[in-house]
Structure 1
Amino acid sequence: MNHTLLDSSIIPSNTTGKPSFAVVGAGVVGLCVALEALRQGYAVTLLDSNEPGTAASYGNAGYLATELIDPLATPESVRSAPKLCLDPDGPVCVPWKYLRHSIPWYAKFLAASNTANAQRGTQALSALNQLSVAAWQRLLTDIDAADQIIKVGNLVVWENPEKKADAHALIERMATFGLTCEYVEGQRLADLEPELSQQLSHAVFFPDAYRLSDPYAVCQTLYNTFIERGGQFFQQKVMGLEAHHKAIQIYLEDQKAYPFDQVTVCAGAWSTELLKQVGITVPLEAERGYQLTFPEKNQQHLNHMVLSADRRFVMSPLDSGLRAVGMSEIGGTSLAPIKKRYAVLNKHTKALLPEAYSKGKEAPTEWMGHRPTLPDSLPVIDQHPTFSRLSFAFGHQHLGITQAAITAELLLQKIQNEPTLLSLNAFKVDRF
């Protein structure tokens, strides 16, 4: 990956005559915002202490989860939380070393989980997700990479035959939001996924679900196009922000101030401290997620995305290999991964897809990333309430890949005072 290291030098002055635009954070959301800003006529500088696409964007399942329309905070999730947390093989974990730090976030999570708030969250997520696939198609077509979005279909599967009513309830609920799906079992299920464990009872099939070819590969494509179109990237940590009405000042590791006409913060789980410097406090936490990637490129084992309703994890047949993704723990950005989580993820994957562990198969690689998660599960897509030259796009929790392209379109529409494709009131930065 070719990029420029700042190394205490001065960012080249903008000689294009275009308004300058800095994007802080080179994950998938930041890359989409940077490309959209270029397309809208800005001279764009991308800043990140890591290489593009190597943080939370690197290891996700890669599928556009348009059917995930419910926030994490609901009355049902609160009722089931104690049982899930106490289950040693469950999907929700509490790192005890971080509990004291996370208590304020959990308090806001509880406040967000009442019925009225959860329903508003569902409406907002549904509206955003409905626009997400088309936005990705526009973006990838524009950069000559339309083949990197793939219609693959998604299966929500159950092992317990007593949960057939849950499947039918899911179908009815999805229909109210315009999402097409069908009930499958027996031979139909076996035809869809021949290698899945015979222990499966039934499933709900979403035929119109899409995935990206591979999240990191897509990020590389976005970045390479950004550079080819005249954007510049500096691998530097942004140390500070200072907001003014005429410009936004960015402070880098050389302690110098760099003024930009527009700045967008897309720093994911690391956005909190930068926002504090401009007078905004957000209850953002790093929700740690774990993944396994099986290295066989040409032996995917699965034809579709598979989400286990019983075990609550996802298996994804990416171009780079089969990936299993799961676990949810509010654990900050500095704790080391908890090795037991990988063992649980292996256990669940092997139960459903034993062929992936057959003799002679190479063991999967392990990875842990930090999802930027707010208590109400809604992202921030907004401008600073006082300094409109400063804007924000972060907090997409489990839906960063899904919502990245539409977030970029909406944010640039707002920055340029154009009508937005949907109301952004639910995504305000000061809603807490």
Structure 2
Amino acid sequence: MENNTQSPTLDNKKPETTSSFAVVGAGVVGLCVALEAQRRGHKVTLIDDKAPGKSTSSGNAGYLATEIIDPLGTPEVLRSAPKLWLNPKGPICTPIRYITKAAPWYWRFIKAAQPDQAQRGTEMIHQLNKESVGAWKRTLTDIGAEALLIKGGHLVVWENPDKRDEASKLIEKMHSYDISCELVDGNNLALLEPELSQTLSHAVFFPEIHRLSDPYDVCKALFDAFIKRGGSFISARVNAIQPYEDSIRLVTTQQTETFDRVSICAGAWSKTLLEQVGIHVPLEAERGYHVTFPNDKTRIHHTILSADRKLVLSPLDAGLRAVGMSEIGGLDLPPIKKRYQVLREHTKGLLPKLFDNPNLQSSEWMGHRPSLPDSLPVIDQHPLYSRLSFAFGHQHLGITQAAISAELLLEKIEMRPTRIPMEALRVDRF
């Protein structure tokens, strides 16, 4: 049963259980699920063929984007999509070799972007985001790593002074959802961020936004706590899932094991695993890129989203990171190299002094966001085999929603009241 009743906190008594619980996928969502299952008394094994936190989770901007409440597909996005697509330096692209494969996903995306469905998506994302910071505080406090969560504030900036109405509309919408923000003009923006280009016209400031010190460091802290508490890690790929009424068998590249419960949290790699158990979801790998400048994290004090350039700048412990691009491109194609240059050009437009250094160092990365056409994750159990559960498909909000997703999933598995309704997050909704 699902309702809006607040669920127990971490301080409540753990249930009596010795059940074995496997989590497939050691990204940030899988790590949060593994820890939450441990807290609930389960004996947990984490399985991934990649090092924990080293895949998609390591490369994001690291901020809890609770102000991003709209799905990726909205009527406004559909209207602007052709212009964005035709811009060679724009944020949207589909590799030529993948267009045919991407077409069915885009068709579902267009349908999900219709006004009524998009609004329902906004309401659901807002509910998840509203709970996300509290869940992260509980998670990190529980493992003694609360210092990794920073209340740093966030800026959405515009270069074109003719777009002040966009800022006003954003503020009006945010206030309608009780999200704190305010308009900042160019002069005050320069006080907040002196290194930003003087050509910036105005911004919207979100004072309550939090960020992680570094996404990989947080994943490492989660994994270290999981191991110290008796968790096991198997470095292997899961080749087959065999569900039974009283157990779930996993066949991996290393061994075959049987567990009382299994949760699939494998991000963009979840789709093929679900197909083995009769579930077909329109999950696509939405490729994102970043360029990190390791010696320049102190150039900015807040996370910054450029409304014009569609990229995020983030001051992480790993360095100043520029994150952007949205490519429905699958899991196998190599990165498009020119995307890194576009990110550098956009970064220079916002932080010109950064490029005065003739010895400027930087690194490049491309990862795979797990995206569903309606921009909502799956947090659910198999309709026939309740011992098999799922948490994946968080698109751009994996870091934001990881901790709350873990809490919701364990609430659902243990048939406790969930703190928000979860009908929209069913695995069979497609």
Settle same-fold status: TM greater than 0.5: yes
Find the aligned partners of 1:180 and 1:290 in 2 and give their Cα distance.
Answer: 29
Match of 2:187, as an amino acid? Q
Name stretches of at least 5 consecutive residues in structure 1 with no aligned partner.
1-15
Q: Which residue of 2 aligns with 1:366?
A: 364
User: Which residue does the alignment assign to 1:419?
Assistant: 417
State the alpha-carbon separation in 1 of the partners of residues 422 and 111 from structure 2. Answer: 21
Q: Write the letter of the residue equivalent to 1:162.
A: D
Q: d(CA) in 2 for partners of 1:331 and 1:356?
A: 31
Whether the aligned pair in 1 keeps the contact of 2:17 and 2:42 (CA below 8 Å) is no
State the Cα distance separating 1:300 from its structure 2 match: 2.0
Amino acid at match of 1:362: L
Separation in 2, partners of 1:186, 1:246: 62
Which amino acid in structure 2 is aligned with residue 342 of structure 1?
Y
Q: What is the rounded CA distance, in whole Å, between the counterparts of 1:367 and 1:356 in structure 2?
A: 20
Alignment of 1:188-199 (within 5 A): 188-199=188-199
Q: Which residue of 2 aligns with 1:376?
A: 374
Question: 2:91 & 2:358 partners in 1: Cα distance?
Answer: 29
What is the alpha-carbon root mean square deviation over aligned residues? 1.1
Structure 2 match to 1:10: none
Task: Measure the CA separation in 2 of the matches of 1:333 and 1:123.
Answer: 30
Q: What TM-score do the two structures reach when normalised by structure 1?
A: 0.95
- The separation in 2 between residues aligned to 1:34 and 1:308, in whole angstroms, is 35
* One-letter identity of the residue aligned with 1:242: Q
Residues 92-112 of structure 1, C-alpha deviation per residue, up to 9 Å, x if partnerless?
011111111111111111111
Residue 323 of structure 2 is aligned to residue 325 of structure 1:
yes
2:145 is aligned with 1:145 = yes
Change (3 A) 1:17 1:210: closer
Partner of 1:5: none
Specify the alignment match of 2:311 in structure 1: 313
Paired residues of 2:22 and 2:45 also in contact (CA < 8 A): yes
In the aligned structure 1, how far is the partner of 2:289 from the partner of 2:27?
18
| Consecutive aligned runs of 4 or more in structure 1 exceeding 4 Å deviation | none
Q: Which residue of 2 aligns with 1:70?
A: 70
Long gaps (5+) in structure 2: 1-15
Determine the C-alpha separation between the residues in 1 that align with 2:185 and 2:359.
29
| 8 Å Cα contact 1:295-1:362 kept in structure 2 | no
Determine what percentage of the aligned residue pairs are the same residue: 60
Q: 1:78-89 alignment to 2 at 5 Å?
A: 78-89=78-89
Contact 2:239 2:252 in 1 (8 A): yes
Q: Deviations over 1:379-411 (max 9, x none)?
A: 000000111000000000000000000000000
Match of 1:344 among 337, 342, 345: 342
CA distance in structure 2 between the partners assigned to 1:360 and 1:77 by the alignment: 39
Report the CA distance between 1:17 and its aligned residue: 7.5
Confirm or deny that 1:294 pairs with 2:278: no
Deviation per CA, 1:114-138: give whole Å up to 9, x if none.
Answer: 1010000000000000000000000
Equivalent residue for 1:221? 221
Alignment of 1:149-160 (within 5 A): 149-160=149-160
The AA in structure 2 aligned to 1:378 is L
Instruction: Find the residue that maps to 2:238 and give its secondary structure.
Output: coil
Q: CA deviation at 1:186?
A: 2.9
Counterparts of 1:86-165 in structure 2, within 5 Å, are 86-165=86-165
Q: Which residue of 1 aligns with 2:400?
A: 402
Task: After superposition, give the CA deviation of every residue in 1:295-319 in whole Å (9 maximum; x if it has no partner).
Answer: 116x521010000000110000011
**Mapped contact 1:357–1:363 kept (Cα < 8 A):** no
Classify the secondary structure of the residue corresponding to 1:131: helix
| Deviation of the 1:361 alpha carbon | 4.0
3-state secondary structure, aligned to 2:211? strand
Match of 2:4 in 1: none
Name the structure 1 match of 2:258.
259
- Please tell me the residue identity of whatever aligns with 2:317: D
Do the aligned residues in 1 keep the contact of 2:186 with 2:203 (CA within 8 Å)? no
Q: 1:289–1:329: 8 Å Cα contact kept in structure 2?
A: yes
